[in-house]
Amino acid sequence: MSLNEFSSIMVIFGGTGDLTHRKLMPALYNLLFEKNLPENFCIVSVGRRDKTNESYRNEVYESIKNFSRIELDENVWKVLKNKIYYQKFDFHDDNGYTHLKGLLSELDDNYNTNGNRIFYLAVAPEYFELIVEKLNEHGMVENNRSWQRVMIEKPFGKDLNSAKYLNKKITEVFREKNTYRIDHYLGKEMLQNIMVIRFANVFFEPVWNNKYVDNIQISSSETVGIENRGGYYEKAGALRDMVQNHMLQLITLTAMEPPVDLSTESIHDEKVKVLKSLQELTPELVLKNAIRGQYKGYREEEKVKPNSDTETYVALKIYIENFRWAGVPFYIRTGKRLPVKSTEIIVQFKPLPGILFFKENGGLTPNLLVIKIQPEEGVFLQFNAKKPGTSNKIIPVQMDFCQNCQVGSNSPEAYERLIYDALRGDSTLFTRWDEVEYSWKYVDKIAEVWRNEKPNFPNYEAGTWGPIEADKLILKDNFKWWNIGGSNNENL
């Protein structure tokens, strides 16, 4: 299939924002550099600041120099530069949409894009409904001879009811098949690799179940705080910002059954089955298995209330009640101001019977499979072997594959893959509505209990692994957190 079949115009609402400059424009440049953009393609950025096409292009040039994974090539930039346009208007202003429609029609003729559009909403969530309705009112989502798609950044709602309302408003205009809900984690290279690791290797899938797996840990840690996002974070917190989307998506890919084929719908169907199989939460279970924390200093951050009860850390013990995973605890944790920046999935296998080497050497280190998602990308396998020498001492050894560690390796950024797939109409790496719905159903039950319980915040120091209650959560099951990411491998 030729890329030119996907000729189109990308309209970015929020064209002057950080997301556009740090992620979207560098991603588009890299796609063009690697010849993954159609020839008939252009970009219209919409913002409320007063800029000319030339001044805006100069800003994009600097952004690509600073944030692109591929060094800026002046010849490639000249091609991209001539595809970028800027429109100034307030998102409430009908005249702005009228002028935008005229510009898009003109660019259709110049670039032969056939009326195909991607509307990227790189804006605050309160503008999603407004922009979609204005696009519809001004006749920019109606041509049956072409396609129009909308790409929406998280958060998709603030709870189940708001997500349902927003989904209704958006799909009334774009329909489900043209609505691309972004979870940028799904664009990460190693996350896409999970299914390959599981289903393309005979020595993994047969042991990927409760007969052989003791527990699974999914950790996503950040060293930074909220970084001038106090206004947003006060409304979201770690539960809504990370667990509802990223962490539950990691669980679905880790725990899903093999799909009947590799089609988008088959993969989404299996992910939804995992979400539907999550143990029903009662208030008692939430209080027992859900831990929240706030780092010391959060309440002094800009736009944060001095008595804020917003969590910056969450740890959960989750059970998936199906035949494959019955009895296997899934532990997840995510937080700000932790010792390392790392996202990883750790599968801890069950110990062998206490005979032979176990009887002679006592408790041996368990076998581990670690899927490293960021910043390192790769697979880490830990098993036991004899230490060289005259003694029969057994030690853990590691086989470590890192696909972005060698010189010259430069994995595509998540947004490159997501934009590329949206252009091609492939929604596999985007979130289907029922995934969003079941995720909110689960998270809402935790949030409801937490609203009625006053937390003892702040409860962990910046640079530590979170509140002591998170350690107790896993220690009471005779497990421990594996801190493998970064250089902090003291557990191994």
Q: Residue 462's domain is classified under what CATH number?
A: 3.30.360.10
Q: What is the CATH number of the domain that holds 121?
A: 3.40.50.720
pLDDT tens digits along 292-304: 999 999 999 999 9
Instruction: Produce one character per residue of 351-384: b if its CB has 16 or more CB atoms within 10 Å, e if not.
Output: eeeeeeeeeeeeebebbbbbbbbbebbbbbebeb
Length of the chain in terms of residues written? 492
Q: Mean pLDDT across the stretch 64-86?
A: 95
Work out whether strand 8-13 and strand 378-386 pair parallel, antiparallel, or are unpaired.
unpaired
Work out whether strand 290-293 and strand 368-374 pair parallel, antiparallel, or are unpaired.
unpaired
Is the confidence at residue 5, as pLDDT, over 90?
Answer: no
Where does 306-426 show beta strands of DSSP type E?
313-319, 329-335, 342-349, 368-374, 378-386, 394-402
Within a domain: 355? yes
Within a domain: 303? yes
Tokens for 111, please give them: 């670039």
Query: How many domains are there within the chain?
Result: 2
Within a domain: 405? yes
Within a domain: 277? yes
What is residue 490's predicted lDDT score, i.e. its pLDDT?
Answer: 46
Distance CA 166, CA 126 (A): 10
Count of CB atoms situated within 10 Å of the CB of 85: 20
Cβ neighbours of residue 249 under 8 Å, at least 6 residues apart?
A: 183, 185, 186, 271, 431, 435
The better pLDDT of the pair 51, 409 is held by 51
Same domain membership, residue 262 and residue 208: yes
> Could you tell me the CA-to-CA distances from 422 to 8, 179, 269, 427 in Å, in that order?
11, 10, 20, 7
Structure-token match 């393309």, residue found: 200
pLDDT tens digits along 12-68: 999 999 999 999 999 999 999 999 999 999 999 999 999 999 999 999 999 999 999
Structure-token match 């974070």, residue found: 233
Within a domain: 191? yes
Q: How confident is the model at residue 407 (pLDDT cuts 50, 70, 90)?
A: very low
Same domain membership, residue 191 and residue 145: no
Distance CA 33, CA 167 (A): 35
Cβ neighbours of residue 470 under 8 Å, at least 6 residues apart?
A: 291, 293, 313, 315, 333, 481
Within a domain: 10? yes
Is the confidence at residue 409, as pLDDT, over 60?
Answer: no
Same domain membership, residue 110 and residue 196: no
Same domain membership, residue 344 and residue 212: yes
Count of CB atoms situated within 10 Å of the CB of 486: 16
Range of the structural domain that residue 81 is part of: 3-153
Same domain membership, residue 357 and residue 292: yes
Ordered strands of the 8-13 beta sheet: 84-88, 41-47, 8-13, 117-121, 148-152, 179-181
What is residue 96's predicted lDDT score, i.e. its pLDDT?
Answer: 95
Same domain membership, residue 200 and residue 107: no
Is the full-model pTM beyond 0.85? yes
246: annotated active-site residue: yes
pLDDT tens digits along 215-247: 999 999 999 998 888 888 998 999 999 999 999
- Of 199-203, 359-363, 414-418, 485-489, the least confident: 485-489
pLDDT tens digits along 128-156: 999 999 999 999 997 677 899 999 987 78
What is residue 484's predicted lDDT score, i.e. its pLDDT?
Answer: 76
Average pLDDT, the chain: 90
Same domain membership, residue 380 and residue 322: yes
What is residue 356's predicted lDDT score, i.e. its pLDDT?
Answer: 55
* Phi and psi torsions of 470, nearest 5°: -70, -35
Q: Outline where 394-432 has alpha helix (H).
A: 414-424
What is residue 153's predicted lDDT score, i.e. its pLDDT?
Answer: 86
Work out whether strand 148-152 and strand 8-13 pair parallel, antiparallel, or are unpaired.
unpaired
Distance CA 196, CA 34 (A): 24
Same domain membership, residue 320 and residue 398: yes
Q: Mean pLDDT across the stretch 434-459?
A: 95
Among 92, 138, 184, 246, the one annotated catalytic: 246
Same domain membership, residue 33 and residue 148: yes
Q: Mean pLDDT across the stretch 417-424?
A: 93
**pLDDT > 90 fraction of the chain, expressed in percent and rounded:** 73
Within a domain: 161? no
pLDDT tens digits along 165-191: 999 999 999 999 999 999 887 877 777
Helix (H, G, I), strand (E, B) or coil at 399: strand
Same domain membership, residue 94 and residue 45: yes
Q: Mean pLDDT across the stretch 283-291?
A: 96
The DSSP code for 46 is: E
Residue type, 176: E
What is residue 352's predicted lDDT score, i.e. its pLDDT?
Answer: 77
The better pLDDT of the pair 384, 411 is held by 384
Is the confidence at residue 491, as pLDDT, over 70?
Answer: no
Distance CA 328, CA 334 (A): 20
Is the confidence at residue 357, as pLDDT, over 60?
Answer: no
Distance CA 402, CA 406 (A): 8
Q: How confident is the model at residue 410 (pLDDT cuts 50, 70, 90)?
A: low
Contact 337, 295 (CB under 8 A): yes
Last residue of a domain, one of 108, 130, 153: 153
Is the confidence at residue 477, as pLDDT, over 70?
Answer: yes
3-state helix, strand, coil in the chain (%, to 5): 40, 20, 40
Same domain membership, residue 204 and residue 113: no
Within a domain: 416? no
Q: What is the largest CA-CA distance in the chain?
A: 84
Same domain membership, residue 305 and residue 443: yes
What is residue 488's predicted lDDT score, i.e. its pLDDT?
Answer: 42
- Of 73-77, 328-332, 406-410, the least confident: 406-410
Q: How confident is the model at residue 467 (pLDDT cuts 50, 70, 90)?
A: very high
